[in-house]
């Protein structure tokens, strides 16, 4: 299976710098100037951040050259001083020790010969002496070559950072010309950069049976027990004492379905790479997204803790977590949707179960969890959302399957739940 191109996390700032440059080119800036609200610019930037890998793939040859030069310089930087010290010590000590030992053996051997005593021992000492003398000469020659090589490397040392920086600039130029600008112009040529038209509204708390709403309210406010949600149910994000929550953590976990038969013996079981994302909406339109290549929202209120490439937390733990500081979420952001999708195209037929759970980050108390059984040919799952209401924030379980590698692909499924 062909592995999709992926931009390294540490090169993300360079990508965003090129994106900023592209957004300020005359033709792009002129096109964006027609929208005084700035929403088109925000959506355009968001689309580019989401499609970062696809955009960067247009310059993958230059990127590969940059990585080939950057990796050796970076990886050998810490080891080179120690290696040089050891080689220098060996270069000095080996000829000296060998020559000294050779001289001692030769003197002793020839002295025994002159004294005509222990002829066999004398011959052995002379032979060993000449062997050590040869070793000393060869090691001295090697030491000379090593010293000259080290001197040449020191003279050419500054050229490596220069070559790395040049390769980096070449990649950035290619990224701008071959990937970023063509993609931004393509986005602008589309009739609508926003989400699809809304469909029928999903069930809300008001549509649930009265007894169920009472049970949810009782458990959420009357105790610290976690609530097991069903699809469509929602709870108020309040502490047991009735005060509003300030910081919550949405933990998302999944477990690969066990493989059977001969394949399992060869592969050692199943692993699946799913990616958790949080999409921030304002008035039904996406304004920011937090995922493995954009770990923090622009305003800093939503933060992804990092990508897990294998999963395996099962029914109890979190594979990935997204922290939300509810006090810092901008006032125009009214909903945050949490999704799980397979970047590599693996389907949920390979997932035994998936869950999301809401935790009060201030004390670690689990407030609610929503568990889904696996199965199906879909590659994504819309797990849950939190929305801002007149009485504060609320969480709603969604549990809707979808298909796509990026959040943009999931918008048609998400929109009816906004």
Is the pLDDT at 201 greater than 50? The verdict is no
pLDDT digits (tens, 9 = 90+) for 340-356: 887 777 788 877 777 88
Q: What is the mean pLDDT of residues 41-61?
A: 86
Query: Which has more confidence, 319 or 265?
Result: 319
How confident is the model over 407-416, as a mean pLDDT?
87
Structural domain total, the chain: 2
Q: What is the pLDDT of residues 88-135, one digit of tens each?
A: 666 667 777 778 888 888 888 888 878 877 778 888 888 888 888 888
Indicate whether 153 pLDDT > 70.
no
pLDDT for the residue 185: 87
Helices (H) and strands (E) in the chain, counts: 12, 12
Same domain, 230 and 269: yes
CA distance 305 to 291: 9
User: Which distant-in-sequence residues (6+ apart) come within 8 Å of 126 by Cβ?
Assistant: 105, 106, 109, 110, 113
Place of tokens 């810490």: 78
Same domain, 184 and 238: no
pLDDT given for residue 324 in this prediction: 92
Residues 185 and 294 in one domain: no
For residue 375, give Cα distances in angstroms to 230, 320, 380.
Answer: 18, 20, 11
272 and 153 in a common domain: no
Domain edge (last residue) among 158, 193, 228: 193
Indicate if 334 and 413 belong to the same structural domain. Answer: yes
Same structural domain for residues 143 and 28?
A: yes
- pLDDT grade, residue 325 (50/70/90)? very high
Same domain (yes/no): 211, 173: no
Higher pLDDT pick, 96 / 270: 96
Residue 404's region, left for phi above 0, alpha for psi from -120 to 50, else beta, is left
**142 and 211 housed in the same domain:** no
- 142, 171, 193: which is the final residue of a domain? 193
Q: What is the rounded distance in angstroms from the CA atom of residue 295 to the CA atom of residue 364?
A: 22
- Tell me whether residue 283 is in a domain: yes
Q: Report, as an integer, the average pLDDT of 238-267.
A: 68
Reply yes or no on whether the pLDDT at 199 is more than 60. Answer: no
Q: Are residues 176 and 257 in the same domain?
A: no
Least confident of 252-266, 363-377, 394-408: 252-266
Residue 200 lies in a domain: no
| 119 and 263 inside one domain | no
| pTM recorded for the entire structure | 0.53
Q: Does 199 reside within a domain? A: no
Tell me, yes or no, whether 369 and 254 share the same domain: yes
Please count the other Cβ atoms lying within 10 Å of the Cβ belonging to residue 270: 19
Would 198 be classed as within a structural domain? no
Identify the pLDDT of residue 200: 41
Q: Decide: helix, strand or coil at residue 265.
A: helix
Q: Is the domain of 73 the same as that of 219?
A: no
For residue 315, what pLDDT band results from cuts at 50, 70 and 90? very low
Structural domain including 368 reads 205-417
> Are the C-beta atoms of residues 294 and 303 closer than 8 Å to each other?
no
């Amino acid at each position: 299976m062909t592995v999709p191109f992926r931009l390294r996390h540490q090169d993300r700032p360079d990508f965003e710098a090129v994106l900023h440059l592209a957004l300020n080119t005359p033709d792009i800036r002129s096109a964006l100037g027609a929208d005084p609200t700035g929403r088109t610019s925000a959506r355009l930037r968001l689309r580019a951040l989401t499609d970062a890998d696809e955009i960067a793939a247009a310059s993958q040859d230059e990127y590969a050259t940059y990585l080939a030069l950057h990796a050796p310089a970076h990886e050998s930087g810490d080891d080179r001083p120690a290696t040089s010290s050891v080689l220098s010590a060996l270069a000095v000590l080996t000829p000296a020790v060998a020559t000294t030992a050779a001289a001692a053996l030769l003197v002793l051997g020839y002295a025994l010969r002159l004294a005509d005593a222990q002829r066999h021992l004398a011959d052995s000492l002379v032979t060993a002496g000449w062997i050590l003398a040869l070793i000393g000469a060869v090691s001295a020659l090697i030491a000379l070559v090593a010293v000259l090589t080290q001197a040449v490397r020191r003279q050419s040392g500054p050229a490596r950072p220069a070559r790395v920086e040049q390769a980096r600039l070449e990649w950035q130029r290619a990224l701008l010309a071959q990937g970023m600008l063509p993609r931004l112009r393509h986005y602008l040529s589309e009739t609508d950069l926003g989400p699809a038209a809304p469909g029928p509204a999903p069930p809300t708390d008001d549509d649930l049976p009265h007894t169920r709403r009472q049970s949810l309210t009782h458990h959420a406010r009357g105790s610290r027990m976690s609530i097991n949600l069903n699809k469509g149910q929602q709870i108020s994000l309040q502490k047991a004492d009735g005060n509003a929550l300030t910081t919550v953590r949405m933990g998302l976990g999944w477990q690969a379905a066990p493989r059977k038969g001969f394949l399992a013996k060869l592969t050692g079981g199943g692993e699946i790479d799913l990616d958790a994302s949080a999409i921030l909406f304002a008035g039904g339109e996406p304004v920011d997204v937090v995922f493995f290549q954009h770990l923090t929202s622009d305003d800093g209120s939503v933060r992804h803790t990092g990508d897990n490439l294998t999963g395996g937390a099962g029914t109890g733990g979190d594979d990935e977590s997204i922290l939300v500081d509810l006090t810092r979420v901008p006032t125009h952001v009214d909903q945050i949707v949490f999704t799980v999708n397979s970047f590599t195209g693996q389907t949920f037929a390979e997932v035994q179960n998936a869950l999301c759970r809401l935790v009060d980050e201030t004390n670690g108390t689990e407030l609610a969890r929503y568990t889904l059984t696996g199965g199906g040919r879909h590659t994504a799952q819309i797990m849950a959302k939190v929305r801002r209401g007149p009485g504060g924030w609320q969480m709603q379980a969604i549990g809707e399957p979808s298909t796509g590698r990026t959040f943009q692909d999931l918008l048609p499924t998400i929109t009816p739940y906004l």
